[in-house]
Amino acid sequence: MFASDVREGLSRPGQKQLPCQYFYDEVGTALFEAITALPEYGLTRADTRLIRRLAPTLCEHMPAPVAVAELGSGSGSKTRRILQALAGRAPVTYYPIDLSPSALALCAREMSAVAAVHPIAETYVEGLRRAACARRPGESLLVLFLGSTIGNFARAAAEDFLRDVRACLMPGDALLVGTDLIKPLARMLLAYDDPAGVTAAFNRNLLVRINRELDADFALRSFAHEARWDAQARRIEMHLRSLKAQRVSIRAAGFECELRKDETIWTESCHKFHAAEICEMGAAAGFECRAQWLDDTWPFAETLLAA
Least distance to ligand AVJ from the beta carbon of 289, Å?
22
- Residue 95 Cβ, how far from ligand AVJ at the closest point, in Å? 21
Question: What are the beta bridge partners of residue 229?
Answer: 236
Interatomic CA distance for residues 204 and 120, integer angstroms: 30
Backbone angles phi, psi at 200, to 5 degrees: -60, -40
In this structure, the chain runs to a length of 307
Of 27 and 306, nearer to ligand AVJ (C-beta) is 27
- Residue 191 Cβ vs ligand AVJ, minimum distance, rounded to whole Å: 7
CB of residue 298 to ligand AVJ, shortest distance in Å: 12
In the complex, minimum distance from the CB of residue 19 to ligand AVJ, in angstroms, rounded to a whole number? 12
Nearer to ligand AVJ, 40 or 139 (CB): 40
Cβ of residue 59: shortest distance to ligand AVJ, in angstroms?
27
Which are the contacts of 151, defined by CB distance < 8 A and separation ≥ 6? Answer: 179, 180, 235, 269, 270, 271, 272, 273
- CA-CA distance, 196 to 204, in Å (whole number)? 14
| Whether the bond into 13 is cis, omega within 30 of 0 | no
CB closer to ligand AVJ out of 96 and 135:
96
What is the rounded distance in angstroms from the CA atom of residue 300 to the CA atom of residue 148?
Answer: 9
φ, ψ (nearest 5 deg) of residue 38 = -70, 140
Which residues make Cβ contacts (< 8 Å) with residue 89, sequence separation at least 6? 59, 64
Q: Which is nearer to ligand AVJ, 9 or 147 (CB)?
A: 147
- Give least dist CB 152 to ligand AVJ, A: 5
Spatial neighbors of 194 by CB under 8 A, at least 6 apart, are 35, 38, 40, 41
Cβ proximity to ligand AVJ, 16 vs 225, nearer residue: 225
Contact, 179 vs 278, CB < 8 A?
yes
CB of 255 to ligand AVJ, least distance (A): 27
What angle, rounded to 10 degrees, do the helices at 26-36 and 43-54 form?
A: 70
Nearer to ligand AVJ, 66 or 207 (CB): 207
Nearest to 210 by CA among 13, 3, 1, 20: 3
Taking the least distance from each CB to ligand AVJ, the nearer of 67 and 227 is: 227
- Chain residues binding ligand AVJ by CB under 6 A are 35, 43, 147-149, 151-152, 192, 199, 202, 268, 270
Cα 262 to Cα 16: distance, rounded to the nearest angstrom:
12
Identity of the residue, 148 or 205, whose beta carbon is nearer to ligand AVJ in the bound complex: 148
Residue of this chain nearest to ligand AVJ (CB atom): 270
